[in-house]
Structure 1
Amino acid sequence: MSSQLSIGIVGLPNVGKSTLFNALLKKQVALVANYPFATIQPNIGVVEVPDERLAVLANITQQSEKLANLPPIKHALVEFVDIAGLVKGASQGEGLGNQFLANIRETQAICHVLRAFENANVVREGSVSPIEDLATIRTELQLADLATLNKQHTPKGTVSKEDQLRWSIIEDFKKILEKGQNILVSEARNNQTQASKSKLSEAQALVAKELCLLTAKPEIFVINVNEKDLGRADALKEKWAQQLDVHSEQVVIISAQIESQLAVLDTKDQEAYLRDLGLQESGLERLAKVAYDILQLQSFLTAGEIEVKAWTIEKGATARQAAGVIHTDFYDKFISARVISFADFVKLGGWQPAKEAGKIRQEGRDYLMQDGDIVEFMVGR
């Protein structure tokens, strides 16, 4: 299981995608000092997933282990990939179409940047319409998926049940796309679930993954607004969710211009600027949280004198799978996990008091991890 979450950012020209992505890159430069193995790539930006529990754990660890300094804090990370070349006709190779499709296929979700701001200095064809922009983007993705499916050939001769099921799924996917619908959105409606919470069946997901189908990926919608509109972000979130026919959990209201300004400030100045705007956190931090939720992820925590860290796992992951996120050897040589809830760890004041109180549980490989579990893994040599 990967501990890195990758989201592809797409948007038509002059919607503010470049401004938003430049803010991501500025944050990336600041992060590299704390993540020595990180590299700066021109099309990748990284954001920390806010988690207030880590600062609490660091303080407790310093006190309980009698450390001179706070242990370093490392948040879970979300990686955003700038998907260049999306124009009308990208599915047929227009613009940087082929490169665009190759890049976006590698990501786990798609983040649409949609323009809802007016600025005479930032020109674009036609009127400002997030609804039309989304329709254009989705059409290109649907056409690309349809082209992929049309390259698949009907099984010949004696066909196994698995191949029959695979072909049946491909035919179903084709019908969905020919109606001008996204695969994941259509399945959500059929199952009467939210697209933000919906999952394909196991067999459907295998086909979608094998063929790298774009419209089977979860979606996030960033509405890029003017600074003056940030004060009514909640109302705008509901408005655009309704107009785009998506769930409000998938929508993030952002001013890319403000994010660009915030990204160059130190922590104290950022907090002061956000207070002046009446906001508690930056748009990029909200975006990271939404990405985590949409992909149904959670964090487990490790706390020691070397570092206090949040690790990304899927909801429903086992203790053995969580161990594998730290190192592949931990998966192969897993013996057991020492687990305590965040609440108990804080209440008791660290590993040793928790051990004395009998609050540390010994869990096996199939234990289902809970968000906020604090863990030490026992592994063989």
Structure 2
Amino acid sequence: MSNLEVGIVGLPNVGKSTLFNAITKAGAEAANYPFCTIEPNVGVVDVPDPRLQVLSDMNQARKIVPASIRFVDIAGLVKGAAQGEGLGNKFLSHIRQVDAVAQVVRCFKDENITHVEGGIDPIRDIEIINTELCLADLESVEKRMERLQKLAKSGDKKAREELDLLNRVKEVLGEALPARRVEMTEDELLLVRDLNLLTLKPTLFVANVAEDEVATADVENQYVQKVKEYAAHEKAEVIVVSAKVESEIAELDETDAKDFLAELGLTESGLDKLIKASFKLLGLITFLTAGVQEVHAWTITNGTKAPAAGGKIHSDIERGFIRAEIVSYDDLIAAGSQNAAREKGQVRLEGKEYIMKDGDVTYFRFNV
């Protein structure tokens, strides 16, 4: 999960590029995305985590390594992409590579910025993109079904089960609804995983609003309310940002950025909201390692056991795992030091079945 990627998609002129450019300026690096001929840009952004500086000060660490998230700027979509219009299949293949999708939706009026569809209607915009993704998924499902039908006729039980599931998925996709709408068990999700369906990817709607309403749009902007209602049916999250505000913040240093946000009545930037929402969307948590050499944040899926978490650092740790020495961040800070926490009995030795928690400050014991 260290290369966690969120694809930013949207119709032309919805603020997608403005938002991405702000992210890229905030990011540690910008790099080419290696998958296709027409290459989207990638912005690599540090995940804000104030715990790292506190641990660094405690350990007098030489460096801090935060968790990072990669935002992939995917070219603007047009109607007919599933049939090859615009960037067509290239656009769709870019989306297949990412872990989650952030769909930027325009929720502001501006006579100086024309809308590709003629007027402001966020639900129409969402449905244009959804339709193209559904059509692409429908093609993948139908191809798989053709291959399975012969096996099912020969009496293959697994093929029949998968066909039944794909029929349910096909029915929903045929109504231009995402595959997320289909109730599936964990076993059924495993059956369709290698199809890499676009409309099964965790999705976040980013409602882009005008600068002067960013503090109140969450409750007062009628377009935002419509997006929220739509998202509730889609099993999707919604965050409100102003791409214009984000582009201005990206030009400021940390102190000035905080002052600017306060003037607007905001407590955090849209970028921070986007990062937090992306982590929540993908069920991610962070554990920490701390010492004189470095303080390091590691991203794992919620529910990960200790050996697999150690494997994020090095495969040898997972292979030769013995125990994890763990203290919760809150306990460590309250105690004042690792030694003080140990004296209070707050440093625990955990075995192979231990499920990691967010903020676990961890030292792995292993032998290879």
Q: 1:186 to 1:45 in 2, by over 3 A?
A: same
Normalising by structure 1, we get a TM-score of 0.87
CA distance in 1, matches of 2:174, 2:236: 27
Q: Assess if the C-alpha contact under 8 Å between 1:131 and 1:243 holds in 2.
A: no
* Structure 1 residue ranges without an equivalent (≥5): 33-37, 63-69, 188-199
Does the residue aligned with 1:246 lie in a helix, a strand or coil?
helix
Q: Percent identity?
A: 43
- Offset at 1:274? 1.2
State whether structure 2 residue 90 is matched by structure 1 residue 90.
Answer: no
Q: Which residue of 2 aligns with 1:171?
A: 167
Could you say which residue in structure 1 is the equivalent of 2:269? 282
Q: Secondary structure at the match of 1:57?
A: helix
Give the secondary-structure state (helix, strand or coil) at the position aligned to 1:368: coil
SS of equivalent residue, structure 2 residue 160: helix
Q: Matched residues in 2 for 1:182 and 1:126: separation?
A: 25
Where does residue 49 of structure 1 map in the other structure?
Answer: 47
Per the alignment, residue 364 of structure 1 pairs with 351
Residue 20 of structure 2: aligned partner: 21
Q: Take 1:339 and 1:162, find their aligned partners in 2: how far apart are those partners?
A: 43
Q: Does the alignment pair 1:184 with 2:215?
A: no
Mapped pair 1:151 → 2:132: no
Contact 2:48 2:272 survives alignment (8 Å): yes
Number of residue pairs the alignment of both structures matches: 354
Query: What is the alpha-carbon root mean square deviation over aligned residues?
Result: 2.1
In the other structure, the counterpart of 1:224 is 208
Q: What does residue 36 of structure 2 align with? A: none
Cα deviations across residues 81-114 of structure 1 (Å, max 9, x unaligned)?
1111411000111100111111100111111100
- Deviation track 1:11-57 (CA, whole Å, cap 9, x = no partner) reads 001101111111111122xx24xxxxx85666111223222222222
* Alignment match, 2:37: none
Letter in 1 for 2:299: T
Task: Specify which of 221, 230, 236 is matched with residue 244 of structure 1.
Answer: 230
Distance 1:241 1:120 in 2: 22
Letter in structure 2 aligned against 1:292: F
Equivalent residue letter for 1:209: R
SS in 2 for 1:128: coil
Alignment of 1:23-38 (within 5 A): 23-28=22-27, 31-32=28-29
User: Partner residue of 1:191?
Assistant: none
SS in structure 1 of the partner of residue 44 of structure 2 = strand
Find 2:127's aligned residue among 125, 131, 135.
Answer: 135
CA positional deviation for 1:144: 0.5
Q: Is the 8 A contact 1:249 1:290 kept in 2?
A: no
SS in 1 for 2:215: helix
**Equivalent AA in structure 2 for residue 137 of structure 1:** I
Change in Cα spacing, 1:117 to 1:16, as seen in structure 2 (3 Å) is same
Residue identity opposite 1:122 in structure 2: I
Shift of 1:341: 1.0
- Distance, in Å, in 1 between the alignment partners of 2:232 and 2:313 is 35
8 Å CA contact retained: 1:339, 1:373: yes
1:39–1:181: structure 2 CA closer, same or farther, 3 Å change rule? closer
**Alignment partner of 2:244: what SS?**
helix
How far, CA to CA, are the matches of 1:46 and 1:227 in structure 2?
25
Aligned to 2:245, the other structure's residue is in SS state helix
User: 2:50 aligned with 1:78, yes or no?
Assistant: no
Contact kept? 1:337, 1:378, Cα under 8 Å: yes
Deviation at 1:350, TM superposition (A): 2.1
Deviation at 1:163, TM superposition (A): 2.7
> In the aligned structure 2, how far is the partner of 1:112 from the partner of 1:92?
21
Q: Is the 8 A contact 1:8 1:111 kept in 2?
A: yes
Report 1:80-119 matches (<5 A).
Answer: 80-119=71-110
1:193 alignment partner in structure 2: none
Letter matched to residue 16 of structure 2 = K
Q: How has the CA–CA distance of structure 1 residues 84 and 76 changed in structure 2, closer, same or farther, with 3 Å as cutoff? A: same
TM-score, normalization by structure 2: 0.90
